[in-house]
Structure 1
Amino acid sequence: MGLKNAVSVLLFLLCGIQGKGQMDTATIRSYRDQIMVRINLDTNIESFIVSEGDHKNADKTILSINNKTKTSLSVDYRIISATLSFSPRFIAGNNDNELKGNSSYTDLSLRFFPKRFIQTLYYKNVKGFYVENTKDFLPGWQEGKDPYIRFPDLRVQRFGGATSFVLNRGFSAKSLYTQGEWQKNSSGSWVPFVDYDLTIFSNTIDGEKSKETQYNIGANMGYFYNWVIGKKVNIAPYLALGLGGKFSSYHDILGDGSKENEQYLTLRMEGGLHVGYNTDRFLFGGRINFNTYTYQKNNQAVENNNLYGLLYIGYRFAPPKAVKKNYDKIQKTLPLL
């Protein structure tokens, strides 16, 4: 197996911009001028559930990706974060391609923090799904021995973003998103946000290509709470509910060439829990987030679920003089930095 298949390199920016940078306050400690090196262990589970019929007797098809557990090393300084990520084969679940097929997963994101706003932009590309409940369709199928029903060419591309506003001035969103700050006292905040995305589904079955384009927009209200225990530990849950619209355009490319346009009402819920330990030098913790939305399509209920887990351990230190000096020179030319 070549290096290309063994190591996946993901380089992205996670930006936290607040004018010239957040300084320490009575309630928030900023680590903007520190370099942070962090080791992460993360997993991302993506699935689509299609239910036909009434609720009690619905026939379900569960499409999932052959998830990989990834290990990554990240280096952060001011607004820049670079991450090198790979999937070790010795971890259970990273070597079952013969049964579930191969899935590729790419997730790139940009996040800005202008004052109390949070602006997120992202791109997600997922390809290669298998039917998780294959035993419901193939009598005599044996788990662990027989291959699952697979859709290797099913691809989901999503270009999206979210614009949020933190209502409580004393609440640090960066302490939860990037660990670039530490909130000294327990505090919570309501966070209204608008989410939007363009999603493209494409597939090829027996030489026939199909494509569906979806436009989504939703209004949401969430509540975040950062419970600080002592001076070094925090527990931060959040939950958000939303209502939105989905506008879909389906195109049978190689069939009869027909096109269908539909509109749907969507319901969304997301939430998570972050637990962390922090000092000015060492930090470690973990988080788990879930995101689900559902809508009715004719006599079908379609549900998209995403579950994300992360464990991390990190170390902060003052930047070498050469790094700080060169960054300051670049910042004079590019004030955005």
Structure 2
Amino acid sequence: MLFSCIFYAKCQTDTTLVKSYSDQVMIRLNLDTNIEKYILSQGGKHIGNNKIDLSINNKTRTSISVDYRAISATLSFSPKFIPGNNEDDLKGKSSYTDLSFRFFPKRFIQTLYYKKVKGFYVENMKDIISDWQEAKDGYLQFPDLKVLSFGGTTSYVLNKNFSAKSIYTQSEWQKKSSGSWVPYLDYDVSFFTNTTNEVKSREVQYKIGGNMGYFYNWIIKDKVNIAPYLSVGLGGQFSSSREGNEPKENEQFLTLRMDGGLHIGYNSERFLFGGRMNFKTYTYQKNGEAVENNNLYGLLYIGYRFAPPKVVKNTYDKIQKKIPLL
């Protein structure tokens, strides 16, 4: 049904207010500081601090983005040669990889993603053990804890003269300051697996939520923009877990979520660069324990636009005839 809505959406954008670069191929190199973290807060008595922060070792990622017409694709990875990504002796090995695709049919924004994270450590050891010393004691590690996620979001921009592409992918440039409310639906399935003392555990989580956000794009002197946004939402989480040979447990939770950020960029006909800071968090209650999943990152990017090679243009045109969505 979601894709049916996308196929039949009818709307127009005022071209005098938005400049499109859809006929150009854009390649961007991105560098971002990624913090993937799970926070467990115990409601009852607890040894030391009542929170446990599980985080990954890899904090800095590089990614390459390619945009052409309605398609935007990004591949991310965490290279070991970047400082802060190679503290394996203290924090254990971590890996983080994601792949995302974003489509812009009319005023809809459709995002699909895949993410794989493995290797966590307890970041707040000092809060748990008062006389803990990093060099001497190291961090409690969960090297086999792995999270595999598949998901997406379906959004709709209410203001037809607001350019979401100018913020998300820089494949357009908004000539006049404007904002818009953006309702969206997010959904994903995540697989958690771990092995402790040769006992395997597995949990599958299904999440879906409805959200409302507001985006504003402030244009300064034609080539610079500042774009803040904030959204909140409610959702449901359905999980199925099993540890070793124990019976399977099924649970349902109400989730609260919030995300927001700030983008600052410079744009010209060929070159562009900028940065953004984003955060995303959701929380739910489980057996008297508050569970949070937080993601905070800052991004720097530099990009270049150029005319597409004929083979790329001709291939896209052939595919578009068969898939009008593109």
Same fold at TM > 0.5: yes
Q: Are the equivalent residues in 1 in contact too, given 2:77–2:96 (CA < 8 A)?
A: no
What is the identity, as a one-letter code, of the residue corresponding to 2:200? K
What are the Cα deviations for residues 280-313 of structure 1, in whole angstroms up to 9, with x where unaligned?
1111001111110111112111111011221011
Q: Are the equivalent residues in 2 in contact too, given 1:18–1:115 (CA < 8 A)?
A: no
Q: Are the equivalent residues in 2 in contact too, given 1:52–1:58 (CA < 8 A)?
A: no
Matched, 1:272 2:261: yes
Q: How far apart, CA to CA, are the structure 2 residues paired with 1:75 and 1:197?
A: 24
Give 1:228 shift.
Answer: 0.6
Q: How far apart, CA to CA, are the structure 1 residues paired with 2:211 and 2:323?
A: 34
Which residue in the other structure is 2:185 paired with? 194
**Pair 72,216 (structure 1): closer, same or farther in 2 beyond 3 Å:** closer
Q: Are the equivalent residues in 1 in contact too, given 2:212–2:231 (CA < 8 A)?
A: yes
Q: How far apart, CA to CA, are the structure 1 residues paired with 2:132 and 2:45?
A: 26
- Give the match's secondary structure for 1:243: strand
Q: How does 1:21-170 map to 2 (within 5 A)?
A: 25-53=15-43, 59-80=50-71, 87-138=78-129, 140-170=131-161
Which residue in the other structure is 1:260 paired with? 249
Which residue in the other structure is 1:11 paired with? none
Give 1:82 shift.
Answer: 5.9
- Give the match's secondary structure for 1:135: helix
Q: How far apart, CA to CA, are the structure 2 residues paired with 1:226 and 1:169?
A: 14
Q: How far apart, CA to CA, are the structure 2 residues paired with 1:329 and 1:124?
A: 31
**Pair 38,116 (structure 1): closer, same or farther in 2 beyond 3 Å:** same
Q: How far apart, CA to CA, are the structure 2 residues paired with 1:132 and 1:153?
A: 16
Q: How far apart, CA to CA, are the structure 2 residues paired with 1:262 and 1:82?
A: 35
**Matching residue within 307, 311, 316 for 2:296:** 307
Q: Are the equivalent residues in 2 in contact too, given 1:214–1:248 (CA < 8 A)?
A: yes
Which residue in the other structure is 2:286 paired with? 297
Give 1:265 shift.
Answer: 1.3
**Pair 74,145 (structure 1): closer, same or farther in 2 beyond 3 Å:** farther
What are the Cα deviations for residues 254-292 of structure 1, in whole angstroms up to 9, with x where unaligned?
24x222222211111000111100011111001111110
**% identical aligned pairs:** 70
Give 1:90 shift.
Answer: 4.5
Give 1:330 shift.
Answer: 5.7
Q: How far apart, CA to CA, are the structure 1 residues paired with 2:322 and 2:105?
A: 20
What are the Cα deviations for residues 84-111 of structure 1, in whole angstroms up to 9, with x where unaligned?
6554544320221111111111212221
Q: How far apart, CA to CA, are the structure 2 residues paired with 1:294 and 1:87?
A: 26
Matched, 1:205 2:170: no
What is the identity, as a one-letter code, of the residue corresponding to 2:32? D
Which residue in the other structure is 1:12 paired with? none
What are the Cα deviations for residues 109-161 of structure 1, in whole angstroms up to 9, with x where unaligned?
22121111111121211111000012334453212453210000111122211
Of 318-327 and 257-266, the range deviating more from structure 2: 318-327
**Pair 279,220 (structure 1): closer, same or farther in 2 beyond 3 Å:** same
Give 1:62 shift.
Answer: 0.6
**Matching residue within 309, 313, 316 for 2:305:** 316
Q: How far apart, CA to CA, are the structure 2 residues paired with 1:69 and 1:165?
A: 31
- Give the match's secondary structure for 1:175: helix
**Pair 223,34 (structure 1): closer, same or farther in 2 beyond 3 Å:** same
Which residue in the other structure is 2:234 paired with? 243
When normalised by structure 2's length, the TM-score is 0.88
Q: How far apart, CA to CA, are the structure 1 residues paired with 2:253 and 2:322?
A: 47
- 5+ residue gaps in structure 2? 1-6
- 5+ residue gaps in structure 1? 1-16
Q: Are the equivalent residues in 1 in contact too, given 2:75–2:99 (CA < 8 A)?
A: no
Q: Give aligned pairs, total.
A: 320
Q: How far apart, CA to CA, are the structure 2 residues paired with 1:245 and 1:330?
A: 37
**Pair 68,150 (structure 1): closer, same or farther in 2 beyond 3 Å:** same
- Give the match's secondary structure for 2:200: strand
Which residue in the other structure is 2:167 paired with? 176
**Pair 245,84 (structure 1): closer, same or farther in 2 beyond 3 Å:** closer
Which residue in the other structure is 1:8 paired with? none
Q: How far apart, CA to CA, are the structure 2 residues paired with 1:171 and 1:113?
A: 13
**Pair 67,55 (structure 1): closer, same or farther in 2 beyond 3 Å:** farther
**Pair 71,63 (structure 1): closer, same or farther in 2 beyond 3 Å:** same
Give 1:73 shift.
Answer: 4.0
Q: Are the equivalent residues in 1 in contact too, given 2:240–2:248 (CA < 8 A)?
A: yes
Q: How far apart, CA to CA, are the structure 2 residues paired with 1:83 and 1:294?
A: 27
Q: Are the equivalent residues in 1 in contact too, given 2:71–2:102 (CA < 8 A)?
A: no
Which residue in the other structure is 1:7 paired with? none
